Amino acid sequence: MRKISYTVLSLLIVAVTLHNSGYAQLIHTDSLILKNHLKTEFRIDVGNVLPTNAFVRAQNTDADGLAHYYSYSLRVSKQTTGDQLWQQRYGYPNYGAGIYSAFFSDTKKLGNPIAIYGFFNAPFFKINRVSLNYELGLGLTFNWNSYNPVENPNNIAISAEKSVYIDAGISLKYLLTQRLELSLGYGFTHFSNGALKLPNKGLNTEATKISLSYRLFNSALYRSDLQTPFNGFYEWIISGYGGARNMLYQGTGVDLATSMKGVNFAVYGISNTLNRQVSYKSKIGIGMTMEFNGSQNSQIVVNGASLEKSNLPFDRHLALSIYPSYELVVNKLSLIIQPGIYLFRMNTANMTPIMYQRIGVKYHFLKNTFAGINLRAYNYYESDFIEWTFGHRICWI
């Protein structure tokens, strides 16, 4: 904690020095910076690892366990000024990219993960120099000390060297000067590989977030002349997805490395969703998914020194589910939240719960055609598989 305090103090001194130096004048002449309204930010997260699986709960009982952690982020973002209608609707948000590095008490258990991610930050409201903001981040994490049946056999939280990084939080921001901004917030971070490799119970953290940002531009001129009356519409979305799910072999007859490598099973499906856009930012609806999950009701058999999938009838792997749908719309990008419930699937001894959660993002690269990625989970924190999606919509008033 003393190291963190020194870092914050040093950052403040450097930022104030830049603000009052000739360097601040030099960057005024950089047309690229002025045009894009860039700012840099340094953030520190100090928090706890949530005890959402047996590995974390066991380690948190130790004096030097995983209960506490801290992380650093260095970020660059663009401040929007209302040149497009969606920017005005979201209260002139900023968005950008960052590099994140986390430190746990015992690096032998988890390592020091590093993430590269994108983020979107927008205000709930703003009054003079103060604003209350929300933020969403998504990226890729690497440098884990992941599960190893010999060297790290207890780490059932993270089993691959790479994982998905999902971050969400709120913050209170205060503009100290024309260029310096201080932020204090709170949020949650989730790490998972989407069951591409098991075991994968995932890792979840909560943290207080402190950041200091420095604007590389003078006060921006915000446009507010593009507002138009809202007209709601319906859309029918047809989408398909594909992915894979890993299963481990629990029997004998092969070496430990082969049994823990397991077998990958294909997962794919078709979804139909009927949405109503109820505001500039939100869509609500209902949908249905028919899917083939190769791991459902499957068995793994030994063939010599390797593992193979058992052959079962096609219908043994089918499932039908329904879900309410919510989309947070940001221009061509949407955040999707769809909690589902299975209506039909064949019974098996190791079935996931009847309810699941789908969260993801999609991007309209054409007006009515999109691609995206969703994380399917259960119990709200355990990953089931990743869906790589492609779809099209039909709209009407």
Looking at residue 61, its pLDDT comes to 52
Over residues 196-223, the mean pLDDT reads 87
Over residues 189-195, the mean pLDDT reads 88
Q: Residue 30 pLDDT more than 70? A: no
Q: Which residue has tokens 């660059």?
A: 76
Q: Are residues 365 and 315 in the same domain?
A: yes
Residue 110: domain span: 2-215
Q: Which residue has tokens 């068995």?
A: 299
Would you say residue 114 lies in a domain?
yes
End residue of a domain, out of 215, 248, 264: 215
Q: What three-state secondary structure class fits 133?
A: strand
Would you say residue 73 lies in a domain?
yes
End residue of a domain, out of 215, 250, 278: 215
Q: Are residues 320 and 293 in the same domain?
A: yes
Would you say residue 245 lies in a domain?
yes
Q: How many CB atoms lie within 10 A of CB 395?
A: 13
Q: Are residues 209 and 237 in the same domain?
A: no
Average pLDDT, the chain: 85
Would you say residue 223 lies in a domain?
no
Q: Any residues with CB less than 8 A from the CB of 256 and at least 6 apart, and which?
A: 149, 150
Q: Are residues 209 and 340 in the same domain?
A: no
Give the residue, 332 or 160, on which the prediction is more confident.
332
Over residues 55-74, the mean pLDDT reads 72
**Structure pTM?**
0.82
**Cα(43)–Cα(7) distance, integer angstroms:** 10
End residue of a domain, out of 215, 247, 264: 215
**Upper half-sphere CA count for residue 323 (Cβ side, 13 Å):** 24
- What size, in residues, is the chain? 397
Task: Identify which of 179, 181, 66, 164 has the alpha carbon closest to the alpha carbon of residue 121.
Answer: 181
Per-residue pLDDT band for 122 (boundaries 50, 70, 90) equals very high
Total number of domains constituting the chain: 2
Would you say residue 349 lies in a domain?
yes
β-pairing, 68-79 with 94-104?
A: antiparallel
Q: Are residues 163 and 288 in the same domain?
A: no
377 and 350 Cβ atoms separated by less than 8 Å: no
Looking at residue 27, its pLDDT comes to 39
CA 35 to chain centre: 29
**Cα(274)–Cα(285) distance, integer angstroms:** 5
Give the residue, 217 or 15, on which the prediction is more confident.
217
Q: Are residues 265 and 131 in the same domain?
A: no
Would you say residue 157 lies in a domain?
yes
Looking at residue 347, its pLDDT comes to 78
Which tens digits make up the pLDDT trace of 127-179?
Answer: 989 999 999 999 999 999 888 877 887 888 888 888 999 999 999 999 999 89
Task: Identify which of 134, 128, 33, 127 has the alpha carbon closest to the alpha carbon of residue 90.
Answer: 134
**Cα(192)–Cα(202) distance, integer angstroms:** 5
Q: Residue 22 pLDDT more than 90? A: no
Per-residue pLDDT band for 199 (boundaries 50, 70, 90) equals confident
Would you say residue 202 lies in a domain?
yes
Give the residue, 321 or 220, on which the prediction is more confident.
321
Q: Are residues 246 and 316 in the same domain?
A: yes
Would you say residue 227 lies in a domain?
no
Looking at residue 60, its pLDDT comes to 59
Q: Are residues 195 and 116 in the same domain?
A: yes
| φ, ψ at 311 (rounded to 5°) | -90, 120
* Torsion of the alpha carbons at 381, 385, 389 and 393, rounded to the nearest 10: -50
Q: What three-state secondary structure class fits 321?
A: strand
Per-residue pLDDT band for 59 (boundaries 50, 70, 90) equals low
Task: Identify which of 244, 328, 360, 338 has the alpha carbon closest to the alpha carbon of residue 288.
Answer: 338
Over residues 171-197, the mean pLDDT reads 92
Strands (E), 159-293: 163-175, 180-192, 203-215, 233-247, 263-277, 282-293
Q: Residue 370 pLDDT more than 60? A: yes
Per-residue pLDDT band for 63 (boundaries 50, 70, 90) equals very low
Determine the straight-line distance between the first and last CA of the chain, rounded to whole angstroms: 56
Per-residue pLDDT band for 106 (boundaries 50, 70, 90) equals low
**Cα(228)–Cα(294) distance, integer angstroms:** 48
CATH of residue 189's domain is 2.40.160.20
Give the residue, 34 or 183, on which the prediction is more confident.
183
Looking at residue 284, its pLDDT comes to 98
Q: Residue 14 pLDDT more than 60? A: no
Task: Identify which of 393, 123, 102, 132 has the alpha carbon closest to the alpha carbon of residue 274.
Answer: 393
% of the chain exceeding 70 in pLDDT? 88
Q: Are residues 43 and 164 in the same domain?
A: yes
Q: Are residues 244 and 205 in the same domain?
A: no
Looking at residue 9, its pLDDT comes to 46
Over residues 308-314, the mean pLDDT reads 81
Q: Are residues 259 and 124 in the same domain?
A: no
Q: Are residues 105 and 183 in the same domain?
A: yes
